[in-house]
């Protein structure tokens, strides 16, 4: 693919750095971490040492403030090597953006510099056993008692929750108010009454821990409330508008890796005395795969550029980019397995991992069915 003409020198530099790290250092260990479901500590340390943790953080808080498009470029490159690593890396901006968007000066000073340096990681906890797509239906409660809140409930599917130094967690101060009762809190793992629950055994992104969180009379200082009571749902949704382009970019990375593998294999594998790339049936598959990857990348870059230009209300574009890129990743990865044929179904080649990893792109940060609901609502002005 041609280098996008619209990238700045800084954006190209950070993309090229992420590309070199990902291909030289992350890709060779991806299969091992997938097989063992082990957390890639050394890889995360490498990203921290190379200054990639704080590219979304303003300079006044120790970051490099390279913007949403730079975040997407880095997410794609890391995901090309290992989508689980991209999920681990992306959990910090996902959990940290709420602080940037809604935190007060003290909260920003307390957390953002440590997130920018990689001293601590972040996570984002919205989902519950009975609240997935219906985020407003969460049941975890927060009751104020003097200078603290007492939280009770169970959260599920928290990416990187077992490794985070701060978790943006959502609870309700009044269940009867539904979305208007939801409030955001900044939870530290050492808080009394907080514990990490079971780690899920997953189909894909196995090197990214997905855990349950338990709050049993968990005591949270009032100064760790993010925004005002009842503003949590708005904070949660605004954050996702910022991070859905990053999720789309993660999907693009998986799709590009699958396409690259399929092209290389089609040129190498011979049947009927010629490479299978010579057959029009395979050529058409590769052409369709390339169009999906390219289209998804352009949609992701478009919405990220809108964010960087300060455009508000890019809900439609964010949902379209996330949805299209997630569907593209699943199609391209599935077709890559087909190009590989029988060996594609084995663990000898990485395309089966790409296919497993791609599936989550249609599910997390809002299922693609929910994205279609949002897209239709925005189109119809509902």
The residues carrying an active-site annotation are 365
End-to-end Cα separation, the chain, in angstroms = 39
Angle between the N-to-C axes of helices 105-117 and 83-102, in degrees from 0 to 180, rounded to the nearest 10:
160
Helices (H), 8-154: 9-21, 27-36, 41-49, 68-81, 83-102, 105-117
In terms of Cα–Cα distance, which of 89, 71, 93, 73 is closest to 15?
73
Contacts by residues 118-121 (CB-CB < 8 Å, ≥ 24 positions apart): 118/44, 118/45, 118/47, 118/48, 118/49, 118/53, 118/54, 119/165, 120/164, 120/165, 120/166, 121/44, 121/88, 121/91, 121/92, 121/95, 121/160, 121/163, 121/164, 121/165
Angle at 179 between CA 227 and CA 174, to 5 degrees: 80
H-helix or E-strand spanning residue 285: helix 280-308
> Quick check: 297 and 248 in contact, CB under 8 A?
no
Strands 194-199 and 182-187: unpaired
CB neighbour list of residue 145: distance below 8 Å, 6 or more residues apart? none
Burial class of residue 199 (count of CB atoms within 10 Å of its CB; 0-12, 13-18, 19+) = middle
Q: What angle do CA 96, 26, 289 make, to 5 degrees?
A: 90
| Cα-to-chain-centroid distance, residue 150 | 29
Angle of helix 68-81 versus helix 27-36 axis, rounded to 10 = 70
Per DSSP, the residues of 305-334 read HHHHTT----HHHHHHHHHHHHHHHHHHHH
């Amino acid at each position: 693919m041609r280098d996008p003409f619209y990238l700045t020198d800084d954006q190209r530099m950070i993309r090229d750095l992420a590309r070199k790290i990902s291909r030289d250092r992350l890709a060779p260990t991806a299969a091992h971490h997938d097989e063992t479901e082990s957390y890639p500590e050394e890889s995360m340390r490498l990203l921290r040492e190379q200054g990639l943790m704080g590219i979304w953080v303003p300079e006044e808080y120790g970051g490099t403030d390279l913007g949403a498009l730079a975040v997407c470029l880095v997410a794609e490159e890391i995901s090309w090597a290992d989508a689980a690593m991209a999920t681990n890396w992306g959990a910090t901006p996902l959990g940290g953006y709420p602080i940037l968007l809604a935190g007060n000066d003290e909260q920003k000073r307390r957390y953002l510099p440590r997130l920018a340096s990689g001293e601590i990681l972040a996570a984002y906890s919205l989902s519950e056993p009975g609240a997935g797509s219906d985020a407003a239906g969460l049941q975890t409660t927060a009751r104020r008692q003097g200078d603290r809140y007492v939280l009770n409930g169970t959260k599920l599917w928290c990416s990187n929750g077992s490794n985070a130094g701060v978790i943006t967690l959502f609870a309700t101060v009044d269940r009867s108010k539904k979305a208007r009762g939801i409030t955001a809190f900044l939870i530290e793992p050492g808080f009394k009454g907080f514990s990490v629950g079971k780690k899920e055994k997953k189909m894909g992104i196995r090197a990214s821990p997905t855990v349950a969180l338990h709050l049993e009379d968990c005591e949270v200082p009032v100064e760790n409330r993010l925004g005002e009571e009842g503003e949590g749902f708005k904070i949660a949704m605004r954050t996702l508008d910022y991070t859905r382009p990053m999720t789309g970019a993660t999907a693009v990375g998986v799709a590009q890796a699958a396409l690259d593998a399929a092209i290389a294999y089609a040129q190498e594998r011979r049947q009927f005395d010629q490479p299978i790339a010579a057959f029009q049936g395979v050529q058409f598959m590769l052409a369709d795969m390339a169009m999906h990857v390219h289209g998804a990348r352009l949609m992701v870059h478009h919405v990220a550029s809108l964010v960087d230009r300060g455009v508000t209300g890019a809900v439609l574009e964010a949902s379209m980019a996330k949805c299209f890129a997630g569907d593209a990743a699943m199609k391209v990865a599935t077709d890559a397995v087909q190009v590989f044929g029988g060996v594609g179904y084995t663990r000898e080649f990485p395309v089966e991992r790409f296919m497993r990893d791609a599936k989550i792109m249609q599910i997390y940060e809002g299922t693609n069915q929910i994205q279609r609901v949002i897209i239709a609502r925005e189109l119809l002005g509902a």
